[in-house]
């Protein structure tokens, strides 16, 4: 009888079990994608994106305003923190407006639409009164409030147009009147042209472009037919062409698109070219906060219209991409709020605010990159200017209120408990054991499909 090397007969050998296949290892990229998609689809995603994105943009903007405005303030024989203090005060007032707007019900927002529009039209007409209106950089669009404080009513005209047009279109949609082109255009387009006319009387082409973008965004949301949309766009393009062709200053700005060196006879190219120089010298991570060279008198309006160029020089490509990512997140959240609501007013107002902020950011950044003509509009929430910051922060409060008003978001917020809440009933005096704090969040009786915690 043959034996094996172990001395055991074949009949006594241990039977080898077939090797079980090991479970396939989960792809880490796929796992990350699934988790990110689950988190992205939560009902509070838009709420957090709007709140967190606007807060980060505002705080970073305060830092860059302080860095970019020091030299300008010293050249004007002012304290180095002069512009920063004014911007910080405006940010504090804007935060109060944001909190008020985020807690106001939708009905109150609609009730304020007509008073805000009437106030904006009155102030914009008051700008043209001699002795009251002020001219800044060739534009008659300012009213002095005493001392160094000024207000630009056209910035509040953007907010007025959004609220009033959203209420108007929502009421017409409820009555099923938007299928008729005359109800879609009247009185929306005439009132928008009234605001545009008051702005153009002061020569502010940049703000007029933003208002036109808001008008087209609202018409697109209202479902304007293609021929009607193209017709209004053609009229606006023709008016814009005439206004640009008849102004040597605007023609010079148009000629500076893509310029890499100052051109003879085009003074505005100096600003455009030095904005490119600032971005080019920043590299990947920048020269360091406060170490910009272009802000030392070479780059005009370094703390207002061209603050993005100083950001690129001091924080580099990483800093500019971070700013772009924050604006992209803010724009996505606004589109998500407008797309998921069933309230027509919320849809039009959220779409109008998103169009306003996104279009203004694109125009400002495009001008700094040399891809668009210099329109003289600030970067929303980022550039220096209290007149632009206050209505923009109120508009952000609108988006926050609309994001909270979503039924799924409202249900998720109602399940949240403050970390330090009320004490539990039955302390040491009741004989139920030591007193405990209700620091744990209440557990839901059933699992939530959204994954919200």
Q: Is the pLDDT of residue 181 over 80?
A: yes
- Convert the pLDDT of each residue in 76-133 to its tens digit: 999 999 999 999 999 999 999 999 999 999 999 999 999 999 999 999 999 988 888 8
pLDDT at res. 422 = 47
Q: Is the pLDDT of residue 418 over 80?
A: no
pTM score: 0.84
In the numeric block, which tokens belong to residue 70? Answer: 């020091």
pLDDT at res. 406 = 82
Angle formed at CA 167 by CA 221 and CA 213, multiple of 5 degrees: 45
Q: How many whole angstroms separate alpha carbon 331 and alpha carbon 381?
A: 13
Q: Is the pLDDT of residue 434 over 60?
A: no
pLDDT at res. 429 = 43
Q: What mean pLDDT is reported for the chain?
A: 85
- Convert the pLDDT of each residue in 48-64 to its tens digit: 999 999 999 999 999 99
> Which burial class, exposed, middle or buried, applies to 358 when counting CB atoms under 10 A from its CB (0-12, 13-18, 19+)?
buried
In the structure, what pLDDT confidence band is assigned to residue 411 with cuts at 50, 70 and 90? confident
Helices (H), 129-266: 153-174, 181-185, 188-201, 205-221, 226-245, 248-255
Of residues 384 and 262, the one with the higher pLDDT is 384
pLDDT at res. 254 = 84
**Bond before 187 cis per omega within 30 degrees:** yes
Of 93, 49, 142, nearest to 336 by C-alpha is 49
Q: Is the pLDDT of residue 239 over 80?
A: yes
Q: Is the pLDDT of residue 432 over 80?
A: no
Angle formed at CA 374 by CA 371 and CA 377, multiple of 5 degrees: 115
pLDDT at res. 145 = 82
Of residues 45 and 28, the one with the higher pLDDT is 45
pLDDT at res. 412 = 82
In the numeric block, which tokens belong to residue 346? Answer: 């919320």
In the structure, what pLDDT confidence band is assigned to residue 347 with cuts at 50, 70 and 90? very high
In the numeric block, which tokens belong to residue 195? Answer: 């605001």
Q: Is 312 left (phi over 0), alpha (psi -120 to 50) or beta?
A: alpha
- Convert the pLDDT of each residue in 256-309 to its tens digit: 888 878 765 545 588 889 999 999 999 999 999 999 999 998 898 999 999 999
pLDDT at res. 133 = 84
pLDDT at res. 423 = 45
CA-CA distances (angstroms) from residue 370 to 208, 279, 316, 374, 380? Answer: 20, 11, 17, 8, 19
Q: How many whole angstroms separate alpha carbon 304 and alpha carbon 59?
A: 15
> Which burial class, exposed, middle or buried, applies to 82 when counting CB atoms under 10 A from its CB (0-12, 13-18, 19+)?
middle
In the structure, what pLDDT confidence band is assigned to residue 20 with cuts at 50, 70 and 90? low
- Convert the pLDDT of each residue in 161-177 to its tens digit: 999 999 999 999 999 99
């Amino acid at each position: 009888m043959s034996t094996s090397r172990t001395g055991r007969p074949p009949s006594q050998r241990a039977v080898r079990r077939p090797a079980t296949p090991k479970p396939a290892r989960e792809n880490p990229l796929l796992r990350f994608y699934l988790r990110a998609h689950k988190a992205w689809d939560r009902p509070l995603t838009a709420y957090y994106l709007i709140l967190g994105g606007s807060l980060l943009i505002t705080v970073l903007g305060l830092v860059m305003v302080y860095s970019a405005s020091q030299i300008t303030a010293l050249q004007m024989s002012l304290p180095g923190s002069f512009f920063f203090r004014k911007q910080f005060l405006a940010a504090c007032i804007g935060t109060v407006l944001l909190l008020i707007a985020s807690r106001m019900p939708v009905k109150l927002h609609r009730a304020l639409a007509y008073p805000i529009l009437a106030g904006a039209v009155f102030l914009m007409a008051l700008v043209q009164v001699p002795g009251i209106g002020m001219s800044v950089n060739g534009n008659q669009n300012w009213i002095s409030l005493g001392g160094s404080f000024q207000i630009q009513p056209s910035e509040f005209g953007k907010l007025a147009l959004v609220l009033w047009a959203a209420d108007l279109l929502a009421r017409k949609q409820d009555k099923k009147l938007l299928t008729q082109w005359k109800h879609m255009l009247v009185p929306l387009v005439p009132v928008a042209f009234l605001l545009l006319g008051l702005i153009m009387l002061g020569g502010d082409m940049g703000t007029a472009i933003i208002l036109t973008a808001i008008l087209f965004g609202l018409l697109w949301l209202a479902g304007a037919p293609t021929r009607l949309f193209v017709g209004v766009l053609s009229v606006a393009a023709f008016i814009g062409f005439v206004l640009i062709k008849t102004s040597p200053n605007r023609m010079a700005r148009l000629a500076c698109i893509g310029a890499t060196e100052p051109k003879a006879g085009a003074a505005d190219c100096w600003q455009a070219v030095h904005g490119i120089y600032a971005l080019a010298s920043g590299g990947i991570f920048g020269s360091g906060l406060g170490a910009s060279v272009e802000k030392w008198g070479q780059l005009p309006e370094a703390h207002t219209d061209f603050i993005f160029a100083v950001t690129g020089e001091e924080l580099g490509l990483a800093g500019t991409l971070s700013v772009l990512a924050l604006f992209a997140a803010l724009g996505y959240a606004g589109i998500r709020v407008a797309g998921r609501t069933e309230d027509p007013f919320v849809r039009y107002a959220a779409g109008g605010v998103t169009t306003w902020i996104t279009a203004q950011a694109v125009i400002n950044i495009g001008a700094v990159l040399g891809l668009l003509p210099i329109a003289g509009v600030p970067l929303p929430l980022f550039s220096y200017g209290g007149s632009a910051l206050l209505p923009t922060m109120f508009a952000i409060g609108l988006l926050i209120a609309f994001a909270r008003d979503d039924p799924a978001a409202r249900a998720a917020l109602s399940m949240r408990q403050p970390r330090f809440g009320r004490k539990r009933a039955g302390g040491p005096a009741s004989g139920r054991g030591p007193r405990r704090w209700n620091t744990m969040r209440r557990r839901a009786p059933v699992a939530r499909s959204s994954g919200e915690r």
